[in-house]
Structure 1
Amino acid sequence: MRDKNFLIENNAKPIWHPMAHPAEMRGNPPRVIMKGEGAYVTDIEGRTVLDAVGGLWNVNLGYSCDPIKRAIAAQLDALPYYSGFRGTSTGPSIELAYELTQFFAPEGMVRAFFTSGGSDSVETALRLARQYWKIRGQGDRTKFIALKKGYHGTHFGGASVNGNANFRRNYEPLMPGVFHIPAPYTYRNPFDETDPERLARLCAKSLEDEIAFQGADTIAAFIMEPILGAGGVIVPHESFMRLARDICNRHEILFIADEVVTGFGRAGAWSGSRLHGVKPDMMTIAKAITCGYFPLGATLIGEEVAEVFEADRTSFGAIGHGYTYSGHPVGCAAGLAALVETRRLKVDENAAARGRELADVLEGLKRKHALIGDIRCKGLMAALELVSDREMKRPADKATMAKVADAAYEAGVMLRISGSNIILSPPLILKTEEVRMIGEALDAGLMQAS
């Protein structure tokens, strides 16, 4: 690798960063991360901080999981790549598909289609949903319904079902036939409803109304995150996902659970669907499938959908879709090792326990700092929504958010800023003393910005 001076000099020059303005990055280059160990990362200046971002929701097992590293190395020696297209399989892809369908059997998943990440997984689910209805002779079912504030990746299909203008406007017009309903977002919603359970019913009624308006026989699927991640860790009331599932059942609409973030324990359960007692028709997974050690994802398919495809004897059942790296043997080997460690360490239980501690810490900060308008936490997914005026709920400005993040970094914790939200998604191996560290760093950052 080039020396330190070269990296600093060229930071943000030959590279454009995701979710950032190139000019802003050139004017204010981002931190350069050089090493990771456990739940900590070290920057180019040698400063080590607790990573309360968990990479990007995905480094559940931390940065030094030796079983994953060994599995990758061994598979590189045996077979670094082979195509998973028609005509060939690899051993790791067969084994991981089996293990995933066993792991997610309580959600009713019976098949896996491998992808290179979360956006690919969502794109695959949307395409399979439309194809499912063509196989069934209902080709008019092409529309999708999603939640405002939801996030489903960056492909044109995923961007189209996204419910946040920040991920849509610069790329419009997007895919036609996509409609959005209000999210069960208690802090900000069009009903001015502060009771989460009543809000869940109102949002479910909006879903019913949109189905009636569009015509159920034109809708392919409803897609939602069990907990809305990038939209600000919006935690629906426990009844909402079940209400939406029941509505989809009544109208014969497919239900897609986007579990890219919530899969593998982050919300304190092995999936958000399991947390809410729902069996979707399809699930999208990625991120913690390899804990970030290799780009991999999957679309998981429920039994009814699988049966329709596999019983078909026409050209409509042929899957004309896939990726060069679908079922990559090295990625699948990493996924197998990650799944073993994920189970062994019972990270779902740790996420639930540490999440309760984190929620208590955040509540204390809210009482202390008027900058905090709302806190939301489930497992090790959390957000602090900052405001300049609590009564008016006026969002904090960009400069304030930057001050909090910079001061927290100086205090030893990496945060993620998304609009007026501070997003927390630390590794699921987090310890109690590290929860306290996050709280202390946030306190320092909020003090600096006040």
Structure 2
Amino acid sequence: MKKEKSTLFIKNGVNYFGPFVAITTLFFLWGIAHGMLDTLDKNFQMMLHLEKWQSSFIQFSLYGAYFGMAIPAGLFMRKHGYKKGIIFGLILFASGALLAAGTAPLQSFILFLICLLIIGAGLATLETAANPYTTKLGPPETAERRINFSQSFNGLAWVIGPLIALYIYGNQSHVEGKKMISIVLPFAIIGLVVLAVAFVFTRLKLPEITEEDENIAHGAIVPAAEPGDLITDVTDPRYISKKPLWKNRHFKLGFVAQACYVAAQTGVFSFLINFVTDHDMDPHFDVELAPYFLSFGFLLFMIGRISGSAMMKYFKPTRMLALYSLLVCLLLPVVGLEFGWTSIIALYAVFFLMSIMFPTIFALAIKSLGKHTKEGASFLVMAVAGGAVFPPLMGAVADVYGMSVGFLVPIPLFAFILYYAVEGFKIKPDTDIAVVNKSNLKTENQVTG
């Protein structure tokens, strides 16, 4: 029987490019939300006279929702499928945005944080669906490339988001008590657009992934000759992990690595504006220009994802992840030591190097999970809650020791990602499966002999 040739979007003769494009639009949508919200920290600091650690509760609310919603979202999709999960996430996203628009005239920071919780719940549901789904829309051996490609459009949205915020807020940052009213129109528009996208998805025909497809897409491992041997080739569908989810070492470590990454990323993204506008720094810039600096960082982030996706055709994703995380560990001290423009350039290099980390860790962690893929994906999205805890810590350090010193705090987190890229991602087969295979082989030899 002739084997079907597989490409990036074609598996067993089926072309998944159309569904892939539809799912990729979701990455763009939540990227816009994150890109806009990252500009609000500094605005609320000035408007409500908040300390850095207090304004970081914007991230705490948004990412905290991931912790509470990711598991219910995974259970929902396990019962109802990816398509209904996507529609549910879009409705939550739209509801939070419209509620934020409706309550903004009340000038309540607490109410805005509640709206962000609802938006975050919607984003958590979308990520729980979209991230693993992209890895299935083609051959398993190119899963990392597909998710990095989709995440590139997420990066593009992060570039556009701050520019939208700049257009909305203009140079009104000195006008206290006016800013929250200005979020009515953008959040109303976002809510209506997301509702329209939800309607479109109700009309789309998306291939639903069956349990058998889950096994083939993410369980492709051949047992090692001896129990305990490590396996890094995950392209053969003959082996599926039969262990409970949390017995898979590469998944457990991937969960920790993902939590570390999102925590570090959120801190770096959130405090870039504070870094370039810090009056104790030389050079420092006016706050009205800050969204341009943030958008440039996100532009490098997007370029990193596009180039990273292309480079993974020639280099192993794990080696790229290891190199990038090592370089970040070396560059953050340069940021922290206040070398002027050199520190700013180093910080922008960190933006570029962080680009491939989330999708690559995600794809590596859900390899070989088989029927546990949806559940595993929901836990990995829950790990995004690391972004809720870390910015207040980084902000507290910055309030005491200065913003530049705050950028030393994420170094241990990137060090763990380096460990995962070098050792932690490796998959061990089930001991009992290896023994069973040996037994079956022995029996077969006796029969044929």
Is TM-score (shorter-chain normalized) higher than 0.5? no
TM-score (ref. length: structure 2): 0.26
Higher-RCO chain (CA-CA 8 Å, sequence separation at least 6):
2
More strand by share: 1
